[in-house]
Structure 1
Amino acid sequence: MLQDDMTWAPEGEVAMSTLVFDSDDLERTEDFLSKAYAKMRIGSSTPSANRARIRRDTIESITVDELDLDFDMSYAVSPLGRICLCVVHTGTIEDHVYPGVEDAFGPGDVVSLAPPDLPYSGRVRNARYNITMLDPALLSQVAATVEQRTPQPVRLTGHRPHSAAAAGHLRRTIAYVRDHALADPAIADQPLIRATVSQLLAGSVLTAFPNTALTDPTASDRNDAHPDTLQRALSHIDDHAAEPLTVADIAAAAHVSIRALQYAFRRHLDTTPMAYVRRVRLAHAHHDLATAAPETATVADIATRWGFFHPARFAALYRETYRTTPGATLRR
């Protein structure tokens, strides 16, 4: 059985899509996996049981898959060209190999399967697991390497998180994205939601894994982090709050490096650029709630329009800032 439930956006926009695959035909499963990931060969050591169940949710440059295989499957995969994260729920992944690495993963493990440009192989043993893939370019939207004005691509330098706490945070972030941002196509199709989700996931990946990003400001960054830099950044945020924004976009508008921008916000406002973006968008949401007609508007619609996709977190942030609830503001 192959169920294809696609939610299409108008031409020129990016849709969220959901794809469900369920088959006990190994050849068909191989064909599906080759199209969904990269060219691969799979095999089974348990010919009496070959059922594969896969659900894929896609949003712009991110895919989140839940896979359930009730058999032992070997795999050999061509380079994906993407960062591929794996969270094992049950079962094991064994003999996982790519140049320079050989490892095995079990329940609770969170790993990066291989660098985007390398092939890998291994064996899945009767496992249920999550595969989350993202465009490597997303990492450079939230961080930069040592090069100042023209950041080099940020790369992961290890396949396991540097601590159990970092692994747990990334695991929760993936579940949060899957269960809240991707659970409702009406939410996921909002442009600010897509941008927020992409940056949230990219930031969590960089926090979890060793990488080439340089976070401490250099002497040049400190010199650039003056009030004029901050003012250029604030003006750009105010003018473009309704559009997808990344820290790299804001840094480019302020004519400084990402680190200089982050240092300027920390030095002068004791916050981060994206926290300030969130504050500005919250103010817009507050205005819309205060001026909307409660008969035709909802809190959820206004929140998602401004990039807030978790109702409880939006309500908590709103209450902390305005000392009332979003619903009370809308009704008033």
Structure 2
Amino acid sequence: MIEARTTTFASNDLGRTEQFLSSSYAPMRIERAAGGTGTRIRRVAAGTSSVDLLDLDLEMTYDVQPLGKVCLCDITSGTIREHRVNGGEAEAFGTGEIFSLSPPDRPYSGRICQAGYSITMFDPALLAQTAGSDRPVELLDHRPVDGPAARHLRAAIEHLRRDVLAVPEINENALVVSAASRNLAAAVLNAFPHRTFPGESAPHRRDSHPGALRRAVAFIEANAQRDIGAAEIAGAAHVSIRAVQLAFRLHLDLTPMAYVRRVRLDHARAELKAASPDDTTVTRVAARWGYGRPSAFAAHYRAAYGELPSHTLRSC
């Protein structure tokens, strides 16, 4: 179980708003605007992932030190102007634009002009884990490559916010939060050009032997109920992430995380077979094994076992 947090703030007092924003994010300065002084903020968070919805009826300049997180901004109204990363060239963003505010290790500044927007943040290590890299992943641009990639990114953010972080029964489940966060990381990698760890090399291929695979499989089967990723699996196998990925591909024709999913499905099936429809539900079992979307659980389950999970539960 992980700690889930919901924070709300509303005020017409510029001093309180400036203090709240500075303590919640980073030092900021607010300027009075002709439009008003109202501020409404709602944050949902669990683990290292969070989504904030902000509606600022004022002008606010910001000067932010590195946050150490991937930070995405999606503007629904108003504008953000004079946005600079590390003192670089100024840019402006308007309604309907989604972009990366700054690399995790760089400061940024700018001006928010009576804007409504969301801020989504997560640990940059998720990008490396999702990309299968032993080193940090660098985003090479702050705008999505095209419209479909931007829409896919928004859908991943909305799923994390609405279906996972905002649902009390779901947001304390580490496996579900992790799955939704990894889904978001994959959408970020799809949306932004990036630099990843180099391809196969002789040491990786040499380390992708059956012994490493056996250690990785044993670790997964002993820890399937935990939030584990490729980096932890590789560590348990005493090889690099790339080597463990090659081992699974060469010997099982699977990725490590696909094998994790298969093991979790096996556990879910055993649980459904042992349960009674009077005592549990498919949704409950799905969430326990990392599925925030029952429809995705049903699709994976049917592909693996040739029947729906509800049939398994009713037949026992």
Same fold (TM over 0.5): yes
Deviation at 1:27, TM superposition (A): 1.6
Corresponding residue for 2:113?
125
Structure 2 distance, partners of 1:119, 1:293, is 55
Structure 2, unmatched stretches of 5+, are none
Structure 1 counterpart of 2:116, which letter? R
- Once the two structures are superposed, the pairs formed by residues 195-214 of structure 1 within 5 Å of their partners are 195-214=178-197
Q: Which residue of 1 aligns with 2:154?
A: 171
2:50 is equivalent to residue 67 of structure 1: no
Aligned residue in 2 for 1:6? none
2 CA distance for matches of 1:42 and 1:209? Answer: 31
Instruction: Choose 27-36 or 93-102, whichever is displaced more.
Output: 93-102
Three-state SS of the structure 2 residue aligned to 1:192 is helix
CA distance in 1, matches of 2:104, 2:31: 23
1:106 aligns with 2:89: no
Whichever residue aligns with residue 61 of structure 2, its letter is S
Q: 2:77 — aligned with what? A: 90
SS in 1 for 2:265: helix
Among 31, 34, 37, the residue aligned to 1:50: 37
Q: Match for residue 226 of structure 1?
A: 209
Q: Would the aligned equivalents of 2:78 and 2:113 in 1 still touch at CA under 8 Å?
A: yes
Q: 2-side partners of 1:158 and 1:194: how far apart?
A: 27
Q: 1:197 to 1:102 in 2, by over 3 A?
A: same
Match of 1:7 in 2: none
Of residues 261, 273, 281 in structure 2, which corresponds to 1:278?
A: 261
Q: Residue deviations 1:168-195, cap 9 Å, x none? A: 3222111111121113122110122233
Percent of aligned pairs sharing the same letter: 49
Deviation (angstroms), 1:207: 3.2
Paired residue type of 2:282: V
- Asked whether the 8 Å contact 2:31–2:60 carries over to 1, the reply is yes
**CA–CA distance in 1 between the matches of 2:126 and 2:181?**
7
Looking at structure 2, the residues matched to 57 and 215 of structure 1 have their Cα atoms a distance apart, in angstroms, of: 36
Matching residue of 1:193: 176
Alignment partner of 1:324 out of 296, 307, 313: 307
Larger mean CA deviation between 274-283 and 205-214 belongs to 205-214
Instruction: Give unpaired runs (5+ residues) of structure 1.
Output: 1-12, 146-150
Distance in 1 (alpha carbons) for counterparts of 2:221 and 2:305: 20
The TM-score with structure 1 as length reference comes to 0.87
Task: Tell me what 2:63 maps to.
Answer: 76
Q: Deviations over 1:58-106 (max 9, x none)?
A: 1111111111223333322233232211112232212111223422222
CA–CA separation in structure 2 for the residues paired with 1:215 and 1:297: 46
Give the drift of 1:285. 0.7
Q: 1:223 to 1:112 in 2, by over 3 A?
A: same
Matching residue within 126, 136, 158 for 2:124: 136
Structure 2 residue 235 is the aligned partner of structure 1 residue 247: no
Contact 2:2–2:173 (CA<8 Å) still a contact in 1?
no
TM-score normalized by the length of structure 2: 0.91
Tell me what 2:166 maps to: 183
The AA in structure 2 aligned to 1:20 is: T
Say which SS state the counterpart of residue 113 (structure 1) adopts. strand
Match of 2:272 in 1: 289
* Residues 162-171 or 34-43, more deviating: 162-171
Mapped partners of 1:256, 1:164: distance in 2: 38
